[in-house]
Structure 1
């Protein structure tokens, strides 16, 4: 068996990956400082006014701040070269940070829910004036940050993600304003814990998605639409000269950076170099796999994969270890 590394002839051309510009870094950093600073103001305002809705909105602002930090980290770490110990570089820091962030957000949601329950049983007084002032200021800050993020290059995946976070936080600010107005005119304080629970559900939704996505990447899960059976079927049906495809493993280093290893058995008398190039082209264009490693398999009968459960429980023997 020979192991062909088709990426050798194209010099790792990752031109389809989102480009990192100084402008993107600056606006993400500016947005982070605005959001993080006002988050602290909102915590103080929530404690002074006694508003749980403001504290919940501050928690939602924390999700925005972390989303912006992750976007900035992705830009910075994305530029750091791989070294002898970390051959894939430092891109996975972003995923680890996202996983820790999600767990932190679950704790925040738990605290808000607990406080809301206590306030339903024993209502607290809320200073509607300060609450309204802080909530309106929060709405203005969110609008400003959203405007900053959507100027110029807004198509980068991390910029879009951060902008969506801020857009969600606008709802939290509107909720706090509504609660403050209701309390000011009616004195009905239960609206405050009610809206804090609504905002915490928004946080929970973001946290659950972030948790699922980061855990999936850390467990080397295949990205959406790149299931091994789909890759096998597509290559076998679409690439001339391919007799069989097996031992497909697809995973992400970080969001949007997909890698794969697979075994390809060419048909008899096929132009092997052409087959490998066509397979690589299909993997990139159809599945957005930027770094495929293709092993050529000359055996008519494929051996069991050493990474499959049946192989581990069976003879445990694997001749086709992937060597990079």
Structure 2
């Protein structure tokens, strides 16, 4: 007996939150308008004051603006219904956006690091007072934008990417304000380049995190916090289950885990009941509501194979009539459970 069970589309979103996509877009647009207007002012002042810290903050603000535009475009694409060859729709567009955000942060950080080192070697005359005033106003602008994005749904890696951009920028402005104060009070011109390097370090940290997280989703890795082996052991410990194989866990997009597995049930067992129980276990214990389980009775040949298992490493795939090309470990009850 073979059974395919798909969870309904009503459960496609593993994360529920009180903010609607429309509200998310409104908060993002508000932050975008504020950032773009301030960025234009800051570039002009940065050139006049000869401050690399201000220019690097402005460049980072440009990536903030781009990250929000990408987030808005990705949200619109992700909302489109699944059709044609895109059976999940375009939900992964959000992860592409998050990855693009991470890569822009990394590329920009390399350029700014080079410029900062050049200025450490031969520092130009920086107008400290102008830098201090501009950076302090930048702190205020970024605090407002950070608040805007904190109101949106940050369980989306896409929105989290834009949020990380702006939060990094906020810390950068604080470093720049401190450098402006140092230049103003002590005349130590290299403080500006040092502040730029602080911004670079923050950009590297945020960029690496975004690229790593988006990369995990693209590589179909299990969601962080879910151990596939432990989950397989949990499933095979359920009543009437004698084997679990072809277990795959991945994320469709951030906050939407999915699972598929082949479950073998003891002869005479109730496949329908086992499937329902396992779906409930996955939903309540792991938050996985998009699951496809193939549930079969264990055949006589498989039964003999299980009863004559000798101690030692288990085969990577079950023999007999089930899944000759199965992937990954086989989970069975008893002392040899993987």
TM range (shorter): 0.7 to 0.9
Corresponding residue of 1:192:
192
**CA distance in structure 2 between the partners assigned to 1:48 and 1:186 by the alignment:** 20
Give TM-score, length-normalised by structure 2: 0.81
Corresponding residue of 2:273:
274
CA contact (8 A) 1:6 1:276 kept: no
Corresponding residue of 2:51:
51
CA contact (8 A) 2:116 2:197 kept: yes
**Quick one: which of 15, 18, 28 aligns to 2:16?**
18
**CA distance in structure 1 between the partners assigned to 2:226 and 2:66 by the alignment:** 28
| 293-302 or 67-76: bigger deviation | 67-76
**CA distance in structure 1 between the partners assigned to 2:36 and 2:218 by the alignment:** 28
- 1:223-282 Cα offsets, whole Å, 9 max, x none, are 112232122111122x32222211111111211111111111112322211110111121
- 1:166-212 Cα offsets, whole Å, 9 max, x none, are 34432211111111111112211100111110111001000000010
- 1:7-38 Cα offsets, whole Å, 9 max, x none, are 2xx55434653352422221121112212332
Distance 1:181 1:84, change over 3 A: same
Q: Helix, strand or coil for the counterpart of 1:269?
A: coil
Distance 1:114 1:265, change over 3 A: same
| 207-216 or 102-111: bigger deviation | 102-111
Distance 1:62 1:210, change over 3 A: farther
Is 1:27 the counterpart of 2:27? The answer is: yes
Q: Helix, strand or coil for the counterpart of 1:297?
A: strand
**Quick one: which of 154, 157, 168 aligns to 2:155?**
157
Is 1:87 the counterpart of 2:87? The answer is: yes
Alignment of 1:7-156 (within 5 A): 7=7, 10=8, 12-14=10-12, 16-19=14-17, 20-150=20-150, 156=154
**CA distance in structure 1 between the partners assigned to 2:89 and 2:67 by the alignment:** 21
**CA distance in structure 2 between the partners assigned to 1:133 and 1:305 by the alignment:** 69
Computing the radius of gyration from Cα coordinates, the structure with the larger value is 2
Structure 2's unaligned 5+ residue stretches are 306-317, 330-338
| 38-47 or 169-178: bigger deviation | 38-47
Corresponding residue of 1:298:
297
- 1:64-122 Cα offsets, whole Å, 9 max, x none, are 43553454345423321000221110011111222233222221111111111111111
Is 1:214 the counterpart of 2:214? The answer is: yes
Is 1:285 the counterpart of 2:292? The answer is: no
Structure 1's unaligned 5+ residue stretches are 311-324
Alignment of 1:198-237 (within 5 A): 198-237=198-237
Cα RMSD for the two superposed structures: 2.6
Deviation at 1:41, TM superposition (A): 3.0
**CA distance in structure 2 between the partners assigned to 1:6 and 1:12 by the alignment:** 11
Deviation at 1:161, TM superposition (A): 6.2
| 62-71 or 252-261: bigger deviation | 62-71
